[in-house]
């Protein structure tokens, strides 16, 4: 888990550019595998969809793993930090409300990678949705319930 100094360093120089594609990754607080529960994972997915509906981001691919998520988006408006903050805040309220738990759900930081023009977008999307395979959670991507991509 990053300490405050590390979290701060993740934000230094972070620049958001609309119409740019980003791969966002964030972990649960203390890497607790809360999203082994399919229903709780769907609460995070709902926040991805809400952000798209609000015109904040166009979702290209995502996967919700037991203790983190990967979200490939094209930023439409606002800042990347505000977008991730909204998703994490609202999903925390939803999960805590559904489970009766209190406190933090997510680590304070997140990792983002702005894709360059020469990067193969489909390869990055495949990396995202194949995460459950690499983690040994399933033998086929289609067997994992918490993922999607616009190419499917």
Can you give the pLDDT at residue 151? Answer: 83
State pTM to two decimals.
0.89
User: In whole angstroms, what is the distance from residue 40 CA to residue 92 CA?
Assistant: 10
Can you give the pLDDT at residue 11? Answer: 47
User: Do the beta carbons of residue 116 and residue 76 sit within 8 Å?
Assistant: no
First vs last C-alpha separation in the chain: 34
106: DSSP letter = B
Q: SS3 breakdown of the chain: % helix, strand, coil, rounded to 5? A: 45, 20, 35
Chunked in runs of 10, what are the mean pLDDT values of the chain (152 residues)?
44 72 97 97 98 97 98 96 97 98 95 85 94 97 95 75
Can you give the pLDDT at residue 3? Answer: 45
Q: Which two tokens stand for residue 142?
A: 């289609």
Structural domains in the chain?
4-149 (3.30.70.1290)
Residue 145: other Cβ atoms inside 10 A: 12
Q: Which of 72, 82, 66, 61 is closest to 33 using CA atoms?
A: 66
The number of helix segments (H) and strand segments (E) in the chain equals 5, 5
Q: Which of 54, 94, 89, 96 is closest to 73 using CA atoms?
A: 54
User: Do the beta carbons of residue 69 and residue 39 sit within 8 Å?
Assistant: no
């Amino acid at each position: 888990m990053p300490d405050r100094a590390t979290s701060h360093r993740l934000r230094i120089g972070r620049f958001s550019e609309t119409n740019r594609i980003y791969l966002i990754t964030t972990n649960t607080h203390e890497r607790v595998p809360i999203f082994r529960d399919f229903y709780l994972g769907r609460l995070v997915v709902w926040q991805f969809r809400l952000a798209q509906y609000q015109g904040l981001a166009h979702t290209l691919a995502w996967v919700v793993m037991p203790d983190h998520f990967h979200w490939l988006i094209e930023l439409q408006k606002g800042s990347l930090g505000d977008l991730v903050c909204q998703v994490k805040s609202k999903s925390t309220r939803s999960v805590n409300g559904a489970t009766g738990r209190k406190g933090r759900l997510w680590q304070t930081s997140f990792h983002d990678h702005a894709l360059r023009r020469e990067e193969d977008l489909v390869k990055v999307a495949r990396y995202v949705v194949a995460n459950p395979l690499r983690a040994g959670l399933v033998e086929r991507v289609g067997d994992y319930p918490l993922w999607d991509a616009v190419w499917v």
